[in-house]
Structures are given as structure tokens and as C-alpha cells.
Structure 1
Amino acid sequence: MNEAGAKSPNVIAAIGLGGNIGNPRRTMARALGLLDARDDIHIRRVSRLYRTPPWGNTDQEWFHNACALVETSLDPHELLKVCLDIERQLDRVRTERWGPRTIDLDVLLHGDFLSDHADLTVPHPRMTERAFVMVPLSDIAPQAVINLQSVADWASEVDSEGIESLSRSGDWWLEEEAR
């Protein structure tokens, strides 16, 4: 709610999902289900599911990654809080930067919001350098613009060697939720 008590207008936000501990596909599907079950967030589109090599700390299991477009009335900080709460519900423990994890939910984009604060940077820092973000994001938002360039163009410029699609469509999470 804004100061006048009116409902905030909905915006489209992009969320990155990843994980490499346990059953990442199931955990990511549960995270999407928890997001979509809220009154203030609605899943609009989900990318295909990808298997991706680890980034940063490369001495660990490969990841599963995807991106989702959500419609939300939450401001970027509130959306981040929801994502962090869902990570905790799904047993995310933060022990090392770029280390193994059950689930990672990142606010990549939030409408035309821009922020460069320590607690929230949007667009997400270095996302344009990371194929595990740009490849799935290009599935669902190829025309979105980040730093004056389309997501599709960024995706074509990153090194996507080793990345493989694990699903034919973005419905993988609904199928997994039904199991």
C-alpha cells in the first residue's frame, strides 16, 4: 500500500532461480509454487530448465537454473524479502559465496526500477556476464533492455558452453509441482 492507502500498481519483475544440492528441479518448482500462491505475486512465464556449469567456485556440482517473470504489487525490497524467506523455507544456508545451495532466488529486474545499494542492486550485478542467467532470461524476455542492450543480445555474447536445456518448455515446474 502506498501512503494514501491505495494498492500499488503491478509491475513485471524477473527472478533468477538456481540450485545444486538435493533435488534442485523439485526445490525450484516448490519455490515457484510458493511465489505463485501469494496474492501479491503471480507467475507470468517461466523459462526452460537448464543444467549449467558452476560459476565462481567451480569445484562443486553443476547447477539447475531458470528464470521467471512475475507480476507483483510488491516493491523491489519487499520482493527480495519474500525471496529470502522462501529460500529459508527451502533450507537455504549461506556458508560460502558462490558455493553449493539448495535454492537461490535473485531479483534480476523490477519494472524500470534501478538501484545500486548494498542491500539490493537492480538490475542484478554482473547478470549480463552470466550465461546461467542470460540464457534462461532470453527464453522469456528477449526484448527486455539492460544497460541499453536487449537480453537476447546479451545472451548471444556470453559463453554458454556446457549449458543444456533439460525441458522443452517453461511448464516443467507445474509438472514437478503435480508430482
Structure 2
Amino acid sequence: MNICYIGLGSNQKNPERQLCKAIQSIRALRLIAVTKISSFYWSKAWGLKSQQDFCNTVIEISTRLSPLQLLSACQQIEKKQGRVRKKRWGPRIIDIDILYYENRVIRSQKLIIPHPYIQLRDFVLIPLKEINPKFL
């Protein structure tokens, strides 16, 4: 099993509910076990700042899915919850990002791991440190 960290965020249509719904959908996936969930953290928007604040969390999972299979599963959950990709860093009903997949480094057109800009994003670093203080 591979240990992965996934960041989730939302700033539309009851963000806390959207995060809970996405976590439930991830829990329902075959070959994935959700092992830790951070508290929810509210933060100002990053990138495109003129929008509602975001609610964020980080989860730790154990999975047998490959990185690309995991990406596909996350994108399907986003689509099922109504995510429409309009504007980079814009408002969204749900955003699910693979932050880390074991100690792998992946640089492809479809997937970059570790996720870019992690070191600049407190809304990722704080919940990640909460669930795994030794990680950072």
C-alpha cells in the first residue's frame, strides 16, 4: 500500500459540507483507505484573491491505485460534485489535489507530485503538519 496525502478545498455551496461529501466519496473508492483527516481550516483565497474564503483539509490515505489512477478518481469526484473548471485559482465547489504520493517525484503533463507551491500554502502546510508532524 502507498501512503498519500490529499488536499481538499472549497469556497462554494457550503464548503464544509462539500469537503465532507468529497471525503465520503474517497472513502467509498476501492483500493483506498482514509487513515487520517485534519481539522478544517479557513483561509483567504490564493492566486485570485477577490473571492470567498476557502475551507481546507488534508487527508492521509493508503492506496493500491497508481498515481494516475488516483488522479482520475479525484477528478471524477470533483466532476460528480459539480466542479466546473473556469478560471485558474478561481472559485470552486471542490478541489482535490494529490500533494504527495509516497516519496515519488512525478513531472508529466497530467500530474505533478509533489504538488506545486506546497511550501507557500499555509492552508496545506498547517493541516498536513497536524496529521503528520514529522512529515515536514
Q: Same fold (TM over 0.5)?
A: yes
> Following superposition of structure 1 onto structure 2, how do residues 2-21 of structure 1 map, counting pairs within 5 Å?
10-21=1-12
3-state SS of paired residue (2:60)? strand
3-state SS of paired residue (2:48)? coil
Partner of 1:26: 17
| Residues in 2 aligned to 1:62 and 1:20: alpha-carbon distance in whole angstroms | 6
- Residue 118, structure 1, aligned to residue 114, structure 2: no
> Following superposition of structure 1 onto structure 2, how do residues 92-111 of structure 1 map, counting pairs within 5 Å?
92-111=83-102
- Residue 137, structure 1, aligned to residue 128, structure 2: yes
- Residue 48, structure 1, aligned to residue 39, structure 2: yes
CA displacement at 1:16 relative to structure 2: 0.2
CA displacement at 1:116 relative to structure 2: 1.6
Question: Per chain length, whose mean CA-contact separation is higher, i.e. which structure has more relative contact order (CA < 8 Å, sep 6+)?
Answer: 2
Partner of 2:48: 57
- The AA in structure 2 aligned to 1:142 is P
- The AA in structure 1 aligned to 2:14 is N
Structure 2, unpaired ranges of 5+: none
| Residues in 1 aligned to 2:72 and 2:95: alpha-carbon distance in whole angstroms | 13
CA displacement at 1:12 relative to structure 2: 0.7
- The AA in structure 2 aligned to 1:15 is I
| Residues in 2 aligned to 1:57 and 1:89: alpha-carbon distance in whole angstroms | 24
User: CA offsets, 1:98-148, max 9 Å, x none?
Assistant: 00000000000011211122211110011111111111111112212xxxx
- The AA in structure 2 aligned to 1:44 is T
CA-atom RMSD in angstroms:
0.8
Of stretches 59-68 and 111-120 in structure 1, the one that deviates more from structure 2 is: 111-120
Aligned-residue sequence identity (percent) comes to 37
| Residues in 2 aligned to 1:143 and 1:119: alpha-carbon distance in whole angstroms | 29
- Residue 84, structure 1, aligned to residue 75, structure 2: yes
CA displacement at 1:37 relative to structure 2: 1.2
Task: Give the number of aligned pairs.
Answer: 136
Question: Please, what TM-score do these two structures have when normalized by structure 1?
Answer: 0.74
CA displacement at 1:89 relative to structure 2: 0.3
- The AA in structure 2 aligned to 1:68 is I
3-state SS of paired residue (2:134)? coil
User: CA offsets, 1:18-41, max 9 Å, x none?
Assistant: 010111111110111011112211
User: Which stretches of structure 1, 4 residues or longer, exceed 3 Å deviation after superposition?
Assistant: none
3-state SS of paired residue (1:106)? strand
Question: Please, what TM-score do these two structures have when normalized by structure 2?
Answer: 0.97
Partner of 1:7: none
